[in-house]
Amino acid sequence: MKQYIMKRILLTIPLLICISFVCFVFINLIPSDPAEVALRVRQVPVITDEAIAEVREELGLDKPYLVRYAGWVADCLRGDFGISYTNPSRTVAGELARCLPATLQLAGTSLILVILLSLPIGFLCAVYRNSWFDKIIRMLVFMTTAMPAYWIGLLLMWLVAIKLDLLPTSGSGTFSHLILPAVTVSFTYISTYIRLIRNNMLENMKQDYVLYANVRGIPQKKILIGHILRNSLHTCFVAIGMSIPQLIAGTIVVENVFAWPGLGTLCITSIFNRDYPVIQTYVLLIGVLFVVFNLIFDILQTVADPRLRKEAS
Amino acid sequence: MSNVILNVKNLQVSVQERGKSYTLVYDSDFCVNEGECLGILGESGSGKSMTVKSIMGLLDTNFKVTGEAWFHGKDLLKESKESLRNIRGSKIAMVLQNPMTSFDPLCRISSQIAETFQAHTDWDAEKIREKSIELLEQMQIREPLEVLQKYPHQLSGGMIQRIMVGIALSMEPDLLVADEPTTALDAITQHEVLKAFREIKREKKTSMIFITHDLGAISYVADRILVMNQGRIVDEGSFHDILRHAKDPYTRMLAEKKCAVMEQYRRVLGKGRGML
Ligand SMILES: Nc1ncnc2c1ncn2[C@@H]1O[C@H](COP(=O)(O)OP(=O)(O)O)[C@@H](O)[C@H]1O
Ligand SMILES: [Mg+2]
C-alpha cells in the first residue's frame, strides 16, 4: 500500500512539470511585451527603448526561454512567485494569500450546498423513478445544465436582491453576502450530481447483488442505503472529490458578478492590468490543485475499495 | 400422492415496455410436491427465471403477474410486499446463477450472511457468528473463520456458490429454488455443486425447483421435469419420459441433441460417468 502511494505521488511529478511548462509558455505567448507593460503600470511618462531594455534586464526577460522557465520553477519551489507588476510593493504570494480565504469560504459553502442537496434529491429520484417528483427534477436538471453560471448569477441577483430586496447584491463580510454567490456557484454542480447519483443508483439497482439481497429477504431500506447508495457513492466519490478544484476555479466568473473579493476577482483584475506574475501563479495554482485533488481522491478510492486495495498492496 | 407444497395455476407474466405489453410466461400450471425436486428445463430466454421470480415477488412494478401460486395456504401473488419479504430467504430460499456478482463487492462475506440472519431472526451478534461458522462448515468450507473475513472477489466461484447454497439452507426453507446454479461454473465445480444438491435432497428432504438448460445436470437431481419453450410449459414427465417419449417436438429435439452429445461424451471418456 505504502509503495503504491509513493508510486502515485512520484507519477504526478511529470504531470506537474507539464502543467508548469504549459502555464509558462501560454503566459509568454500573450502578444504584449511584459517589460512595456511593467513600465506603463509603473506610470513612467515616456517609454523609451532604453527604459524597456533596462526593465527587461531587471525582470530577467533578456535570458533564453528555458533558463527563464527553470528560474521561475526554482523560485516557485521556494515559494517565491515574484512581485506584482501593478503593485511592486506586494508579492504575488501575499496577494494570493490575501484572496484565498474568501474563495475557500465561497467554494466550501458551495460544496456543502452541493452535497446536501444533490445527494438526497438524487437518491429520491432513483428510488421513486418516473414519479412526478423525478420528472420535475429531471426537467429542472435538464434546464439548469444549459444555463451558464454568470447568467444564473445575474438572474438571482435581479430576482432576490433587486426585486425582492432580500439579500445584498454584492460585497462580502456577512453570511447574507455569501448566500447568492454560493447558490450560483453550486447551481450547475447540483444538477450534475443529481443526475450522476440518480443514474448511478439506477445502474446499481440492476446488479445481481441487489436481486440476491431481495432473494434473501433483506428489508428494502437496508438494500437501498446499505448497498445501492453505498456502491453508488463509491463510484461517484472521485467525481465529487474532483469537483473541489473545479469549484475553486469556477468561482472566477461568479466572484466578479457579485464582487466577491477572492482569487477570481484578483485574477480578472490582473488580466485587465496585464499583471503577468499574478495570472501565471493563479493558473499554476489551479492546475496544481487539480493534480493534487486527483491524487488524493484516487488514493482514497483505492484504500476504500477492497478490490483495488488488494491489487495495490 | 404426497402433499403439494407449491401449487401454481394459470401463471402469466407480461412486461410493459414503451406502452406495449409483451407476454413472457403464458398460462403455466405446475406444482411441487413435498420432498420432490422439480426440474425446469429450457434454453435461455424461455422464461424459466421469470416463472420463479414472479412467484417470489422479485419482479419490478412494470411486470404484470396474474394467476395463483399457493404456498402454505397463502396465494403468493396476492401477498403484501412485507409478507413476501418475510417468506423469501426463510420459507423459500433461492440460489442464483452468477455467484461472483451476487454478493455486494464492498461488503465482507460475514456481513452479508449476518444481514440475512438479521432479516429473519432476532439473534444477537454472538449467535449470528456461531451460525455463520456452522453454515460454512456444513458446506465443507475449510477455515470458515478466514472465509468470513473475505470479500467476494477473494473467493472462487465454486466456493461462493456453496456459500450461497449454505445461506439458502441456513433458515431451513420449505422450498429451495435453484436458478441455473451450475451454469457459470467450470465442469469440475459443477459436479461438486450438483453433488451438494443431491445430498440436500437425500438428507434434508427439502422440496426443490431446479432450473437449468443442461439435461445432464437435471437428470442428476430432478425427480420430475417441466420443459419450457418460449414462455410455455411444453412437456412434463420423468427424465426417462422426456428423453424417450417426449410429446412435444421441441423437447424431442432437445433430447436428441443431448443424446448425440452424450454418446460422444461416453466415447471420449471410455465409459459413462455417474452423472450422465
Ligand atoms: N427486464 C425485462 N424486460 C423485458 N423483458 C425481459 C426482461 N427480463 C427478461 N426478459 C425477457 O423474458 C424472457 C424470459 O427471460 P428469462 O426468464 O430470464 O429466461 P431464462 O429461461 O433464460 O431464465 C426473455 O425472452 C427475455 O428477453
Ligand atoms: Mg434465467
The sheet with strand B232-237 has its strands ordered as: B92-95, B175-179, B207-212, B37-41, B224-229, B232-237
Instruction: Say if the Cβ atoms of B102 and A211 lie within 8 Å.
Output: yes
- Kindly determine whether residue B101 and residue A208, on different chains, have CB atoms separated by under 8 Å: yes
Probe residue for ligand 1, chosen from B25, B50, B63 as the CB with the greatest number of ligand atoms within 8 Å: B50
CATH code for the structural domain at B4-91+173-275: 3.40.50.300
Predicted pLDDT at B2: 65
- Residue in this structure with the C-alpha cell 503600470, named with its chain if needed: A41
**C-alpha distances out from residue A149 to A44, A144, A152, A188, B269, Å:** 39, 9, 5, 7, 72
Asked if A211's CB is within 8 angstroms of B58's CB, the reply is yes
Among A212, A222, A231, the residue to mutate for chain B (most B Cβ within 10 A): A212
Complete edge-to-edge strand list for the sheet that includes strand B20-33? B20-33, B4-17, B63-71, B74-75
Residue of B nearest to A205 (CA): B60
- Please say if the pLDDT value at position B274 is more than 80: no
Domain locations along chain A: 94-272
Q: How much distance in Å is there from the Cα of B7 to the middle of ligand 2?
A: 21
pLDDT of res. B106? 92
Domain boundaries, chain B: 4-91+173-275, 102-170
For the record, the C-alpha cell of A60 comes out as 530577467
pLDDT at A145: 82
> How far does the CA of residue A108 sit from the closest CA of chain B (Å)?
29
Distance A259 CA to ligand 1 centre (A): 59
Q: Which of B63 and B245 is assigned the larger pLDDT?
A: B63
Name the nearest CA neighbour of B208 among B191, B226, B192: B226
Which residue's alpha carbon is at the smallest distance from atom 25 of ligand 1? B45
- Under an 8 A CB cutoff, do A307 and B153 touch? yes
Confidence of residue A227 (pLDDT cuts 50, 70, 90): very high
**CA B96 / ligand 2 centre spacing (Å):** 9
Task: Find the range with the poorest average confidence among A28-32, B29-33, B103-107, B230-234.
Answer: A28-32
Is residue B270 very low, low, confident or very high in pLDDT (cuts 50, 70, 90)? Answer: low
- C-alpha A208/C-alpha B94 separation (Å) is 13
CB of B45 shorter than 6 A to ligand 1 = yes
CA distance A40 to B237: 99
The DSSP bridge partners found for residue B225 are B39, B237
Cα–ligand 1 centroid distance for B75 (angstroms): 23
User: CA A30, CA A194: separation in Å to the nearest integer?
Assistant: 40
Among B49, B65, B230, residue to substitute to test ligand 1 (most atoms within 8 Å of Cβ): B49
Separation CA B71–CA B73 (nearest Å): 5
- Quick check: B87 contacting A, CB < 8 Å? yes
Q: What's the pLDDT score for residue A202?
A: 95
C-alpha cell at B143: 477455515
What average pLDDT does the segment A45-54 reach?
79
Integer Cα distance of A209 and B129 in angstroms: 22
Contact A214 B58 (CB under 8 A): yes
**CATH-assigned architecture of domain A94-272:** Orthogonal Bundle (1.10)
B160 neighbors B99 (Cβ within 8 angstroms)? yes
pLDDT one-digit tens code per residue, A68-96: 888 888 888 888 888 887 777 888 888 88
- Distance between CA atoms of residues A110 and A249, nearest Å: 12
Instruction: State the average pLDDT over residues A17-45.
Output: 79
Residue B258 CB coordination number (10 Å): 20
| Chain B contact for A209 (CB, 8 A cutoff) | yes
CA B51 to ligand 1 centroid distance, Å? 10
Q: Which of B75, B200, B45 is nearest to B83 (CA)?
A: B75
- pLDDT tens for A130-157 read 899 999 999 999 888 888 888 888 888 8
Task: Look at residue A267 and tell me whether its pLDDT is greater than 60.
Answer: yes
Task: List Cα–Cα distances, B17 to A307, B12, B59, B64, B106, in angstroms.
Answer: 36, 16, 14, 11, 33
Q: Is B46 in the pocket of ligand 1 (CB under 6 A)?
A: yes
Higher pLDDT, B80 or A46: B80
- pLDDT per residue as tens digits for the range B192-206: 888 888 888 888 888
Per residue in B263-276, is it b (16+ CB within 10 Å) or e — as a string?
eeeeeeeeeeeeee
Contact B96 A209 (CB under 8 A): no
